Chains A and B, each alone.
Chain A
């Protein structure tokens, strides 16, 4: 994804806040890919991703004058998108928390060596049905956990920024990320075996 020079971004944001339409367009162009990708991964389908994309930038247009620069602009914008996404997830289906989101325990880790993943055949990941299976596991994670995984591991957002975006503490972010990764690992154990990915 496109790297953004923070100084340049700050200047664009200031212009956008004074109503400069070109600057507003620039901000949309700078962030539309990231916001669309984030929404697509959070919601799991193109139509919802498009809706969240449009809503996020509508909010940006209407509220950019409220951005005070206390956090980075992308954190502010991501927070809008994430809140809209989580709200939509919640409205669609009350989340089922009957899945295991426990911390890894000594018993579980004691047996890891028996099922080591020596070398994964990453070329097989190109097969559509395998990608689909892997993606469907991500969808099983509750929205908040899924969002943390997407932000930290796919978008490379720092723990600090992820915490700000989600309005939770840094330690809470770390713990939820750990549980999300552990959940995905447990689910992928089965897929790795079924699809003979080793």
Chain B
């Protein structure tokens, strides 16, 4: 297995960049071959997924919306 400096991770997706980019190809290859790195990246993906599930993008509460437009002295208008 090709030895790789783990700091290389800094340039990659799930650690910051697009894994299809040229600098990441070596890292991607390494991740596929290295069980520990593969598990690490999988966990990072799951962390992001967990937060997306926990999170919700519900509309702001109606009273907050009302107070906002009143404060701005604007009439609510949906585009």
Contact = CB atoms under 8 A, between A and B. Distances in A.
A129 interface: no
B10 A112 contact: no
Interface residues on B, range: 35 or more
Contact of A188 (B50, B59, B65): B50
B52 A154 contact: yes
A19 interface: no
B54 A135 contact: yes
Nearest to B44: A181
Contact of B57 (A21, A37, A105, A184): A37
A185 B35 CA distance: 17
Interface string A48-82: 00100110011001000000000000000000000
Contacts of A18: none
Contact of A111 (B36, B52, B61): B36
15 contacts: A22-B77, A25-B76, A26-B77, A28-B72, A37-B57, A53-B64, A53-B68, A105-B6, A109-B40, A112-B37, A122-B49, A135-B54, A174-B10, A181-B47, A185-B44
Given A33-B57, A37-B57, 4 more contacts: A117-B39, A117-B46, A149-B51, A177-B15
Which 10 pairs, one residue from A and one from B, show the smallest C-beta to C-beta distance? Answer: A174-B16, A25-B77, A178-B15, A112-B39, A36-B60, A26-B79, A112-B40, A112-B36, A25-B74, A113-B35
Interface of A: 1, 8, 12, 21-22, 24-26, 28-30, 32-33, 36-37, 41, 46, 50, 53-54, 57-58, 61, 103-106, 109-113, 115-117, 120, 122, 125, 131, 134-135, 138, 149, 153-154, 159, 173-175, 177-178, 181-182, 184-185, 188
